Structure 1
Amino acid sequence: MPLEFAPTRIALVVSLLVALGYLWYAEGRGRWVALVEDRLLYGVPWGTLVTVAILVAFYAVVQGGVRSWSEPLTLPFITWSYFYPTGLFTAGFAHGTPGHLASNTAGTLALAPIAEYAWGHYPPSSDRRTRTDGGSNVAADGEGTSLLARPWVRAVVVFPAALLVAAVLTAVFALGPGLGFSGAVFAIAGFAVVSYPLTTVVAVVVTTALQTLYQALTQPVVRETLEVGPPSPPGWAGVGFQAHLLGFLLGVLVGIALLRRRGRSPAGDRVFVGVVLFGMAQSLWLLVLTGDDVFYLYQGAGIVMLLALAVATTVAVAGSDRPIPPTFSRLSRRVPSREQLARGWLLVLAVVFLVGIVGAFLDDFSPVLTIAPLAVVVALLALPALPAVVPDRWLSSPVSRRGVAVGCLLAFTVVVVAPSVPLNLLVVGDDAVPGDGEVEVGGYAVTYEQNATAGQTPVIDPGPIPDPELDDDEEDDSEPDELEDAADDPFATQQSGVIVVNDDREIWTVGVRDSLLEHDREATVVVGGIGWQETVAVSRSGWDVIGNESSYAVDLETGADAVDADGGEAVRSFASEPIEAEVRVDGHTIAIEPGDGAGDAFELRVVADGEVVGTADIPAVNETATVGDLEFDTEAVGDVDRLYASADATDTEALIAERETDG
């Protein structure tokens, strides 16, 4: 941060301390502690603070944030596959950027104290008058002698452990590669919203305030220009909506269990409003489907899902415990009994399930991605009929309205989890590195390639996924057969950019998209593992050929100081084919192609009457080169280097190409 902005940051910190001090003393000093000290040890949410400390320490130490705070190591900590345990157990704690870490810690600081207060540091049966010695003796009835009943253990061990378990679960069952604590944050929110609905809604505002404060502290002054950025997907396409929804459902179910255990039941209207407002504000309604550079956001269906979730949660928390009325048993004996109707309904569902399986194969739908959700939906529809056909000894009591709502939440949780299982059973083949210009660092292979087929393949073949924009009787003849075959396989996608492969960790990913590298010209990829990391510097150089595409090359550089110009030896990873200019000079065709070695060297190739006249390096600025009857010179026009060609016989000069520049 520039030095001249330091006074602004100091003034901001002082103002914040003065404001908090005024609130503390003007509103009765210790009144805030008195509100929570019956549930929290010394009125402090120790578990929340311990959890945030773990997240920050993991980012700073394990991910190398101390070495490079803005560019941490992330690749080895992502959930690439179920066959890579390290990623499964670390993805929930790791973060990609300082902003990512700040966002999740802000949510934790705002929401986790509510959940921690609902959980309580003191066992529910303990009497505050018996709490002495910092909670080492918490109950006269002897409950406090249990290790797990001790307030300090509940505060700094049990509660943080529960949050970390939520982080692992949401990472393990995430839909594809994931990173971050946000799944656990949504689990905290789900737990909090069923315990204290309106307080949770207020905490959402607090989360926004904390994020704004962080941004103001890190960037007191923001300077932007009218610069057009590279093509990029919409912001909502990169949100782990499925992990968020899963975390919220897990938190709601745990919260409902705790409420039932303690005999509490918040007002239903407050629960409904809390779930809806939280879901709207935190985009719990997100339903996203991505394709090849096409992104679908199903807003209408997402809102319907959120409202249905709010109703089910409300009934599960505050609904009636009365059993479902045996309506069918009251009918005439001529009408089928309740049990007969239930069996008939289950038979219909079984037929629908079988028809769905057959239809998935006949219509070329993905069998794995179709059968699992279909099975869960059928099971959900079968729930109301189960009490009539399940033997009485299997049920301790009739199913209540609240029990049905809880069953719906459980079934919905399974629906959310089911698609993630086949999509995470991925492996990387032995020959998964595209091209032949890679550099190897500690088991990683880094290369640049255009239209490379993804190297991760599923253990279970999910089958083809049809294009939703085509009718059943239509065929797409716009692509070659090999691309059509790749499109039929959801994992055989064509991707371009800086590709990182590590078959030991089941990693095959695009570290830098080709469009971003084309815009920025330079990028870095951080590879490594626990205890080590190394940076691979990526640079693109090229010429925009008039009337045609760019002729460009991509170089990679490794070494401890790879981000510096003198870091290590550069390797030419990719070189495009020769690109011909549209213009002809004195009957000559001019093409530009990258040179053999790494760097900015590019060659001119002049062709006349189908034969190569000669080649030469593109001259430096204010210098010339001659190939046959043509003379080439490079001129700096503003910030752009332009290459011109002229012929003495015609006394003409033509613009051939311009050097690529940032942006």
Structure 2
Amino acid sequence: MSMHPLLLSPETISLLERVSVALLVGGLVLSYLVVYRLGDRPSPFQRLRTRFIVGIPWGTVLVVVGVYLVYHVVQGAGDPGGPNVVGFRSWSLWYPQGILFSWLSHASSAHLTGNLLATVVFGGIAEYAWSHYPTETGQQSFSSWRTNPYARVGLYVVGISAVGLAGSVFVPGAIIGFSGVVFALAGVAIVTRPLVTVGGILGLEGVDLVYSGFQNPVGFAEARPDFSVPYWADTALQGHLFGLVAGVLLGVALLRYRKRSPNIGHVWFAALVFTVSRSMWTLFWFLSDTEFVLFRGLGAASVVVLASIIAIATLPDPRPLVGERIEVPARRVGVVILVVLVVLVALAGVPYNLADVSSGDGVDGGIEIDGYTVTYAENVEDQYTSLDIPVVGDALSVDASGVIVTSDKRNVWSLETPRDELALNGFSVVVIGDSTWREVVIMNHTQWQLSGGNSTYKVYGQHWQEMDDQQLLFTAPLGEGQPTINGSRFGIVPSTEFYDIAVLGENGTRDRVQMPAHNESVDLAGVTFTRKNNRLIARHEQTELLFAEYRTERER
């Protein structure tokens, strides 16, 4: 818990948190009284009991609990270093553990929270449409396994698991997260309860706000430099599309089985609101590890067209697509297009997930642990993202710089921390392993920033358990200072021991001396260099200037 050091004491913060939570609870109670007491509306639990066992969507509850346990127990979110993310992505069909766990795993607590809250909302709507009890008139519960409420809960969970595993197998890319299943649940909800789904989309914001209010009733923030990428560049759009379309097809099948149909306008509106609010218009590609191109216009057109196709697929009758001359039913066209979308994703996904991914050039050496290699490299080709297409050639090739994790036997090639992020933070924590073991690797970045010039730096790696055993993984070229002092230009050069100060000549460095220790000085070319804590001061006669500043993770 952070605290403003000048204004608030821990006791004051604790009091504010308790008061905030109490007011939040009071606001929720007041809202319930206004809507369901003063408004003479029946309790929502009464209606839920007509569809759910004791009014609880048990299938959704079981799924939420299972996903939560995978993150905290299997991925080890509470262990040193946080959750293991690398070992739980769907890297390849040759890595079955990744395929099995990727759809249940998450990259962070925020990732987990967002998906679980969405599961509660859309999963509850989809499970309500499915129902624990028979919906047809005359059918009785427990008359057969199809009408058994407990069997129906089990089928609902099995269906969710099937969609999740299908996404891991057929969606291209190293997917991680439950969002593919969330989109499938939303797809079922959109076609079976479109207006309720729109309310759920709006309600999700409220649920998230209330949850955050209980989790962090009082928060503090301050302006500071940070490394970030566009939010749309960190989403698996292909997985979201696969899940949504699969869910819509399941929902349409349920409607056909029960001989029901929604209002096509309501379905179109719900589909459009969902796809826009969930940023499915963000069609993008990589220009580098930190640069992206967004096709906004194409994305906007695609969500409008997708909403229309989803609405057409739910038409209640076989009306023709265009007038009376074309006798092909419009709803069949809609369903076929959706099926083709799923098949196209799978046709791209299966070969991609079967491809052999090697470590590539430039990432040799590093910290090796049970088939994993953790290293640092710059301007190397991303072996997992780059595509080798004969016609296009290297146009889609992406270069990466930063902390890289590879594993040939698992088809892993992952840029875990981009170069600029590591330089800003000064360190990076990398967790590797699988469901049976884990190791933590700490990457440290040290840097001398020269006044008026560039910088030079080194990157070390070490096991978390062996903090005194650092391995030098990368040294940058020398940093050149801009000022000319006593007729000479100087720079800083990384060395095996630490860094050296060097006199720069036309063909590189001439003379060099080791960087002085704290509060000590060295002379070079008639200039005295004194290190005061993390500042390197250059002095000549009556002139003194800040030549360079040393930065590590401890000073950032």
Find the counterpart in structure 2 of residue 501 from structure 1: 406
Identity within the alignment, %? 29
1:154: how far off? Answer: 1.5
Is residue 2:359 matched to residue 1:427?
no
Question: Which has the higher mean CA deviation after the structures are superposed, 233-242 or 514-523?
Answer: 233-242
Separation (CA, whole Å) in 1 of partners of 2:391 and 2:476: 32
Residue pair 1:319, 1:401 contacting (<8 A) in 2 also: no
Residue pair 2:359, 2:413 contacting (<8 A) in 1 also: no
Q: Deviations over 1:344-403 (max 9, x none)?
A: xxxxxxxxxxxxxxxxxxxxxxxxxxxxxxxxxxxxxxxx8xxxxxxxxxxxxx742221
Is residue 2:555 matched to residue 1:658?
no
Find the counterpart in structure 2 of residue 580 from structure 1: 480
Find the counterpart in structure 2 of residue 552 from structure 1: 457
Question: 3-state SS of the aligned residue for 2:409?
Answer: coil
Find the counterpart in structure 2 of residue 620 from structure 1: 517
Question: 3-state SS of the aligned residue for 1:73?
Answer: coil
Separation (CA, whole Å) in 2 of partners of 1:457 and 1:282: 24
Question: Which has the higher mean CA deviation after the structures are superposed, 234-243 or 195-204?
Answer: 234-243
Find the counterpart in structure 2 of residue 406 from structure 1: 335
Question: 3-state SS of the aligned residue for 1:497?
Answer: strand
RMSD value, Cα: 2.9
1:151: how far off? Answer: 0.9
Amino acid at match of 1:642: R
Residue pair 2:460, 2:470 contacting (<8 A) in 1 also: yes
Find the counterpart in structure 1 of residue 530 from structure 2: 633
Residue pair 2:451, 2:548 contacting (<8 A) in 1 also: yes
Is residue 2:129 matched to residue 1:118?
yes
1:616: how far off? Answer: 2.5
Q: Deviations over 1:5-32 (max 9, x none)?
A: 4444444544455555562773779732
1:174: how far off? Answer: 2.9
Q: Deviations over 1:625-663 (max 9, x none)?
A: 134643211235xxxx33233446xx5445432223656
Give 1:165-184 correspondences, 5 Å limit: 165-184=162-181
User: Relative to structure 1, is the Cα distance of residues 190 and 576 closer, same or farther in structure 2, using a 3 angstrom cutoff?
Assistant: same
Give 1:371-382 correspondences, 5 Å limit: none
TM-score normalised to structure 2 length: 0.88
Is residue 2:549 matched to residue 1:644?
no
User: Relative to structure 1, is the Cα distance of residues 158 and 126 closer, same or farther in structure 2, using a 3 angstrom cutoff?
Assistant: farther
Find the counterpart in structure 2 of residue 97 from structure 1: 108
Match of 2:371 among 415, 420, 443: 443
Find the counterpart in structure 2 of residue 39 from structure 1: 51
User: Relative to structure 1, is the Cα distance of residues 547 and 423 closer, same or farther in structure 2, using a 3 angstrom cutoff?
Assistant: farther
Amino acid at match of 1:81: S
Q: Deviations over 1:464-515 (max 9, x none)?
A: 537xxxxxxxxxxxxxxxxxxxx44x35x32111111111211111111110
Q: Deviations over 1:207-260 (max 9, x none)?
A: 112222232333333322232323x32111111222112211111111001100
Separation (CA, whole Å) in 2 of partners of 1:457 and 1:207: 33
Find the counterpart in structure 2 of residue 514 from structure 1: 419
Find the counterpart in structure 2 of residue 475 from structure 1: none
Residue pair 2:431, 2:440 contacting (<8 A) in 1 also: yes
Q: Deviations over 1:18-61 (max 9, x none)?
A: 55556277377973222122221121100010000000000011
> Mind listing any 5+ residue stretches in structure 1 that lack a counterpart?
132-137, 329-383, 385-397, 467-486
Amino acid at match of 2:440: T
1:303: how far off? Answer: 2.4
Separation (CA, whole Å) in 2 of partners of 1:71 and 1:316: 44
1:286: how far off? Answer: 2.5
| Higher Rg of the two aligned structures | 1
Q: Deviations over 1:167-192 (max 9, x none)?
A: 22233333422211111111100100
Match of 1:602 among 499, 502, 511: 499
Separation (CA, whole Å) in 1 of partners of 2:150 and 2:24: 31
Question: Which has the higher mean CA deviation after the structures are superposed, 581-590 or 26-35?
Answer: 26-35
Separation (CA, whole Å) in 2 of partners of 1:54 and 1:248: 21
Separation (CA, whole Å) in 1 of partners of 2:302 and 2:385: 32
Residue pair 1:427, 1:457 contacting (<8 A) in 2 also: no
Find the counterpart in structure 1 of residue 5 from structure 2: none
Separation (CA, whole Å) in 1 of partners of 2:368 and 2:253: 51
Give 1:152-551 correspondences, 5 Å limit: 152-155=150-153, 157-230=154-227, 232-292=228-288, 293-322=290-319, 399-429=328-358, 434-436=363-365, 438-456=366-384, 461-463=388-390, 465=392, 487-488=394-395, 490-491=396-397, 493-551=398-456
TM-score normalised to structure 1 length: 0.75
Q: Deviations over 1:99-138 (max 9, x none)?
A: 110000000011111100111112344757x54xxxxxx2
Amino acid at match of 1:150: N
Separation (CA, whole Å) in 2 of partners of 1:309 and 1:615: 65
1:405: how far off? Answer: 2.0
User: Relative to structure 1, is the Cα distance of residues 123 and 619 closer, same or farther in structure 2, using a 3 angstrom cutoff?
Assistant: same
Separation (CA, whole Å) in 1 of partners of 2:42 and 2:69: 31
User: Relative to structure 1, is the Cα distance of residues 76 and 303 closer, same or farther in structure 2, using a 3 angstrom cutoff?
Assistant: same
Question: 3-state SS of the aligned residue for 1:504?
Answer: helix
Residue pair 2:358, 2:383 contacting (<8 A) in 1 also: yes
